[in-house]
Amino acid sequence: MSDRLAVRKTYKLYLGGAFPRSESGRTYEVTDAKGHFLANAARASRKDARDAVVAARGAVATWSGATAYNRGQVLYRVAEVMEGRAAQIAEEVAAGEGLSATRARAAVDAAIDRWVWYAGWTDKLAAVLGSSNPVAGPYFGFSLPEPTGVVAVLAPQRSSLLGLVSVLGPVLAGGNTAVVVTSKERPLPAVTLGEVLATSDVPGGVVNLLTGDAAEIGPWLAEHADVDGIDLAGASGPLAMELERSAAGTVKRVLRAPAEEPDWTADPGLARMTPFLETKSVWHPMGW
Amino acid sequence: MTHVLDPDALSRGGRPLPAPLDPFADVTRSDAAVRAFLHGLPGVDQVGAEARATVLGTRSIKTTAKAWAIDTAISMVDLTTLEGSDTPGRVRSLAAKARRPDPDDLTCPPVAAVCVYGDLAGIAKEALSGTGINVAAVATAFPSGRASRAVKLADVGDAVANGADEIDMVIDRGAFLSGRYLDVFEEIVAVKEACGEAHLKVILETGELVTLDNVRRASWLAMLAGGDFIKTSTGKVAPAATLPVCLVMLEAVRDFRAATGRQVGVKPAGGIRTTKDAVKHLVLINETVGADWLSPRWFRFGASGLLNDLLLQRQKLRTGHYSGPDHVSVD
């Protein structure tokens, strides 16, 4: 045994490109699948959520204004950095989800592949979802997908990494910025993902990761007038219903919660990207 | 520098300088006397002032007290636009916002004043007629103050003629920092005379004064010369209004009233952007000079962005959910 003191990690929020503790000062115990203590994670409060929305709003212009090609490059870079830290992330996934090392590593690989997949979509969305419209007049008519803006994401509760990547990737690929409430009981892979994002050219504020309870923070995000859309993937039955109802007050885009957590390894298709894209149609006089 | 050899010859046409209020009537009899007085003021403990301001900034103001603080802060705002790109249209829209900061909520109080450049004071005056909201105009070669006294006085006269109720002047920081205090004093006196009925706010530009000792001296000099308000900054120099600076200025107006019986207002300007900042200032007033200064007559916030944050917080209290910048006007 060496005498070296353990360098314990403080698990913090990822907010506006920085790693603050919760404004409330609260933490909560995170345990592994067998109930053994793993870490103390920051327990985000409604004020952290508010600050995260301000940060996300501030980043909208930069992220949505970047070219689709550039967004793809940046997201691909995230996958590169994740690849380098795959071992650490796999350990956290294994502990949190109670998987064997092999299966955890497979989940991390699937998450990285999923991220690359969404990185590839950034500059293809306009071609697939946009159109050149036939019009009966001397005009061109174009329809283009544009990002919705600030999207709140309640990440899946069970799948702590692949699930998280599968809901965050589509929001970012379309050019939105995100405020994510992570899985409550399995937040550690998300914290590490925050560290990956901070070191991979993603502008601060584009992704904000709040560890804590979706039932506590969710309602504030659903009611928040400056949140344009909300993905309820991590909310269960009655909570999801309540959040849908309060999101209606500010006419948000709502991606409804699935009845139960889906198999995230399935081919995602476009289903999670289109809800947070707005179609803009432009008429343009025909030149001659 | 004719006026250094003979201070009265250039600017006052032989008339004597009016003496400050008792018991300070004789402190401006000569340059040496002013310097002796200002340098005789007790030194400011900078570390102590910063610590005091920090401690007062940690007070937790919630629920009904917060609602009161927000409404009070809104009523103290000097809604400001001081850009080279200002237009009559922009000033009119600012005036509309000043009258009714939150068009959705009739219980929201109007602001105290609209602060513009002198040439646009007439537009603001017209747009605000009958509302009780004052028009403040910056003058005296704002923001640098680098012009001859004749030009500065003409600038003031022009703003007053355009209908300004309040004049925000800048002191000559060059003269102040090189120790020509009587020059600064004379200039403030001359501007005060040119103001006529209009209230005079004296901008110290504390960001250029470097030390808190200088802030205290400049505050006293401005009050002795007859300023109705002392104001921290132009908003064009960083750092602008900070809590320690505001603390020192509040102590100065408190001590000045205790000595002479005359009350002078305080206006921090520049750098106050959030409701939290504004509430910290209100706490600072209450704990330093007392509730006498907790009114728009004696305390103002010079700000443009602050009002929107106050409105967002007000909407949050009213509706129970967070509001967003889409729900207040862009300015």
Question: Omega of the bond prior to B42 within 30 degrees of 0, cis?
Answer: no
| In a domain? residue A55 | yes
pLDDT at B81: 95
Over residues A155-173, the pLDDT tens digits come to 999 999 999 999 999 999 9
pLDDT at B18: 83
Element (H, E) at B317: helix B306-319
pLDDT at A1: 62
pLDDT at A6: 87
> Do residue A225 and residue B322 have CB atoms under 8 angstroms apart?
yes
Nearest-CA distance from A54 to chain B in Å?
9
CA distance linking residue A29 with residue A37, whole number of Å: 7
Identify the CATH number of the domain in which residue A212 sits.
3.40.605.10
Cβ B195 vs Cβ B165: under 8 Å: no
pLDDT at B13: 60
Residue A208 belongs to what domain range? Answer: 27-285
The pTM for the full model equals: 0.90
Chain B contact set for A226 (CB, 8 A): 322-326
| In a domain? residue A110 | yes
ipTM of the complex: 0.85
Q: Is the alpha carbon torsion for B66, B67, B71, B77 positive or negative? A: positive
**Is A249 at the interface with chain B, CB within 8 A?**
yes
For chain B, which domains are there?
28-319 (3.20.20.70)
Least CA distance to B322: which residue of chain A? A224
| In a domain? residue A238 | yes
Could you tell me what percent of chain A has a pLDDT over 90? 92
Tell me the average confidence (pLDDT) per consecutive run of 10 residues in chain B, 331 residues long.
45 72 90 95 96 95 95 97 96 96 94 96 96 96 94 96 96 96 96 95 95 97 96 92 96 96 96 95 96 96 94 94 89 75
pLDDT at B7: 47
**Is B58 at the interface with chain A, CB within 8 A?**
no
Cβ B239 vs Cβ B209: under 8 Å: no
Task: Please give the tally of structural domains in chain A.
Answer: 1
Q: How confident is the model at residue A126 (pLDDT cuts 50, 70, 90)?
A: very high
- Cα dihedral A220→A221→A224→A228 (10° resolution): -170
Which among B322, B323, B326, B327 is the top mutation candidate for probing chain A, defined by the most A β-carbons within 10 Å of its own β-carbon? Answer: B322
| In a domain? residue A13 | no
Least CA distance to B309: which residue of chain A? A54
Q: How many CB atoms lie within 10 A of CB B129?
A: 12
- Asked about B105 being catalytic, the answer comes back as no
Residue in B97, B125, B231, B280 annotated catalytic: B231
What are the phi and psi torsion angles at A180 (to 5°)?
A: -110, 130
First to last CA, chain B: 43
Over residues A10-68, the pLDDT tens digits come to 899 999 999 999 999 999 999 999 999 999 999 999 999 999 999 999 999 999 999 99
CA distances to A76, A186, A217, A256 from A114, rounded to whole Å, are 11, 20, 27, 21
pLDDT at B3: 43
A14 DSSP 8-state letter: B
Residue in B97, B201, B267, B280 annotated catalytic: B267
Q: Could you identify the residue written with the tokens 């017209």?
A: B126
Long-range Cβ contact pairs of A243-246 (< 8 A, separation 24 or more): A243/A154, A243/A218, A243/A219, A246/A219, A246/A222, A246/B321
pLDDT at A259 over 70: yes
**Is A60 at the interface with chain B, CB within 8 A?**
no
pLDDT at B108: 96
Cβ B296 vs Cβ B76: under 8 Å: yes
Per-chain mean pLDDT for chain A? 95
pLDDT at B181: 96
